[in-house]
């Protein structure tokens, strides 16, 4: 096993109510890596986290810091190098200081040292001023900071976060995410976070695991998974609204030329790693995330360039600093654009120019070869 692999599991299986709710052949986590685990409700995300933290009866081979973990002694030792934060802060009665110190107390850290360590982590989470407050008087955001400080005080090798930001309002969440990222980078803590919120992931995570029906559908760096989903099912879950069936052929420059079915529109797409064409022309599908579709007022981009289209806005949805558009360019597409790109409010029926960057267009593996 590679030196910097902190956690690994082979042939993991969890059975509940007579049904296998988790089945994973192999997963590994490297030191300092932040992994986001996402997927629809009931996909098995929390079960995976709990199984890895030895909080869920399961079958499989577990490795922690290079050691095969089997038997209660080894499990207990591994458990002591892990910490978990849940959606609900789950604080015990008492002050913030007492809550942060509780794990240290259980691990036998003596009085003064324990208070010093707890104070250090309260300070790191910017809640030192709340040390003596009864936790019942804390806001949701403050309580979650106490919960994170309590976990970090154990200086875990692996930190498990199960949807820790769910109950926080946007500014509280944004501040905590930013501070947590710095803290985890500083400590080099390997972190696994279950999350539904795709907006957290590009900032926090190095890698995404997409789960469905108890198994892993895709694992990879954040950008790769978001831009190049392996299947239509994963793409749809990850919010890729633009998915078009069409015909793929190889262009002279090595890129793909993709003709969207039943239109005369041809897209140029950069070839992804490992993508090869099996025949002269194949039926498959292409996709692009709405945020990568560049939408501008009419005639503000050169129309003769590849992947530039003129289209008509069919619907505008204002979203604060963004507009979400439905646009007809000969085929229908969704786009997300910053309000700063438009000098005046765009309306239904307006003509716009649209550019689809070739490197952001993903071609699915062909399903039917000619």
Ligand X SMILES: Nc1ncnc2c1ncn2[C@@H]1O[C@H](COP(=O)(O)OP(=O)(O)OP(=O)(O)O)[C@@H](O)[C@H]1O
268: number of Cβ within 10 Å: 17
Q: Does 39 bind ligand X (CB under 6 A)?
A: yes
Element (H, E) at 61: strand 59-64
Single out the residue of 25, 42, 137, 261 in contact with ligand X (rule: CB under 6 A).
Answer: 42
Q: Does 46 bind ligand X (CB under 6 A)?
A: yes
- Cα 341 off chain centre by: 28
| Residue 5 or 21 having the CB closest to ligand X | 21
| Residue 201 or 363 having the CB closest to ligand X | 201
Position closest to ligand X via CB: 17
Burial class from Cβ neighbours inside 10 Å (0-12, 13-18, 19+) for residue 111 reads exposed
Residue indicated by tokens 């501008």: 296
Segment interacting with ligand X, rule: CB under 6 A, options 34-42, 202-210, 216-224, 285-293: 34-42
Long-range contacts of 128-131 (CB under 8 A, 24+ apart): 130/96, 131/95, 131/96, 131/97
Applying CB under 6 A, what is the total number of residues that bind ligand X? 11
Single out the residue of 35, 47, 144, 218 in contact with ligand X (rule: CB under 6 A).
Answer: 47
Segment interacting with ligand X, rule: CB under 6 A, options 2-10, 39-47, 168-176, 281-289: 39-47
| Residue 41 or 72 having the CB closest to ligand X | 41
Helix axes 96-106, 140-152, angle to 10 degrees: 20
* CA angle 243–201–360, rounded 5-degree value: 35
- In the complex, the smallest distance separating the C-beta of residue 13 from ligand X, rounded to whole angstroms, is 13
Segment interacting with ligand X, rule: CB under 6 A, options 44-52, 134-142, 199-207, 347-355: 44-52
- What residues contact 88, with CB distance under 8 A and at least 6 apart? 167
- In the complex, the smallest distance separating the C-beta of residue 262 from ligand X, rounded to whole angstroms, is 37
Segment interacting with ligand X, rule: CB under 6 A, options 15-23, 133-141, 200-208, 280-288: 15-23
Q: How far, in Å, are 10, 74, 234 from residue 80 at the CA level?
A: 21, 10, 35
- In the complex, the smallest distance separating the C-beta of residue 38 from ligand X, rounded to whole angstroms, is 9
- The answer to whether the Cα torsion of 350, 356, 360, 363 is positive or negative is positive
Q: Does 57 bind ligand X (CB under 6 A)?
A: no
Segment interacting with ligand X, rule: CB under 6 A, options 2-10, 41-49, 76-84, 276-284: 41-49
- In the complex, the smallest distance separating the C-beta of residue 41 from ligand X, rounded to whole angstroms, is 3
| Residue 17 or 349 having the CB closest to ligand X | 17
Largest CA distance in the chain: 75
x/- string (CB under 6 A) for ligand X, residues 144-173? ------------------------------
Q: Please say whether the beta carbons of 53 and 84 come within 8 A.
A: yes
Partnered with residue 287 across adjacent β-strands are 243, 362
Burial class from Cβ neighbours inside 10 Å (0-12, 13-18, 19+) for residue 354 reads buried
- In the complex, the smallest distance separating the C-beta of residue 17 from ligand X, rounded to whole angstroms, is 3
Q: Does 43 bind ligand X (CB under 6 A)?
A: yes
Nearest to 324 by CA among 342, 310, 299: 342
Partnered with residue 351 across adjacent β-strands are 312
Q: Does 44 bind ligand X (CB under 6 A)?
A: yes
Q: Does 21 bind ligand X (CB under 6 A)?
A: yes
Binding site for ligand X (CB under 6 A): 16-17, 21, 39, 41-47
């Amino acid at each position: 096993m590679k030196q910097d692999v902190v956690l690994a599991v082979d042939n993991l299986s969890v059975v509940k109510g007579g049904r296998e709710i988790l089945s994973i052949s192999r997963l590994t986590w490297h030191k300092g890596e932040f992994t986001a685990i996402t997927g629809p409700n009931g996909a098995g995300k929390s079960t995976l986290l709990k199984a890895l933290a030895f909080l869920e009866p399961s079958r499989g081979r577990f490795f922690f810091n290079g050691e095969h973990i089997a038997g209660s002694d080894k499990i207990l030792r591994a458990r002591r190098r892990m910490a978990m934060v849940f959606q609900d802060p789950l604080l015990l009665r008492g002050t913030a200081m007492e809550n942060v110190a509780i794990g240290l107390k259980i691990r036998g850290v003596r009085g003064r040292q324990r208070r010093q360590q707890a104070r250090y982590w309260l300070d790191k989470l910017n809640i030192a001023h709340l040390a003596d407050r009864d936790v019942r008087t804390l806001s949701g955001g403050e309580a979650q900071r106490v919960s994170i400080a309590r976990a970090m005080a154990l200086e875990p090798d692996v930190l498990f976060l199960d949807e820790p930001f769910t109950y926080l309002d946007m500014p509280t969440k944004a501040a905590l995410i930013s501070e947590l990222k710095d803290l985890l980078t500083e400590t080099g803590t390997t972190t696994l976070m279950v999350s539904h919120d795709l907006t957290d992931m590009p900032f926090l995570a190095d890698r995404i695991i997409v789960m469905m029906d108890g198994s892993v559908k895709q694992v990879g760096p954040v950008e790769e998974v978001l831009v190049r989903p392996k299947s239509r099912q994963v793409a749809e879950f990850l919010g890729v609204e633009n998915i078009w069936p069409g015909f793929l052929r190889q262009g002279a420059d090595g890129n793909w030329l993709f003709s969207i079915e039943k239109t005369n529109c041809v897209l140029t797409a950069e070839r992804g790693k490992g993508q090869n064409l099996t025949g002269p022309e194949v039926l498959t599908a292409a996709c692009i995330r709405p945020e990568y579709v560049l939408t501008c007022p009419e005639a503000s981009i050169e129309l003769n360039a590849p992947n530039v289209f003129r289209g008509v806005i069919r619907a505008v949805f204002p979203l604060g600093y963004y507009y979400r558009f439905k646009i007809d360019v000969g085929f229908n597409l969704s786009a997300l654009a910053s309000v700063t790109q438009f000098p005046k409010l765009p309306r239904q029926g307006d003509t716009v120019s649209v550019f689809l960057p070739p490197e952001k267009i993903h071609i699915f593996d062909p399903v039917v070869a000619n």
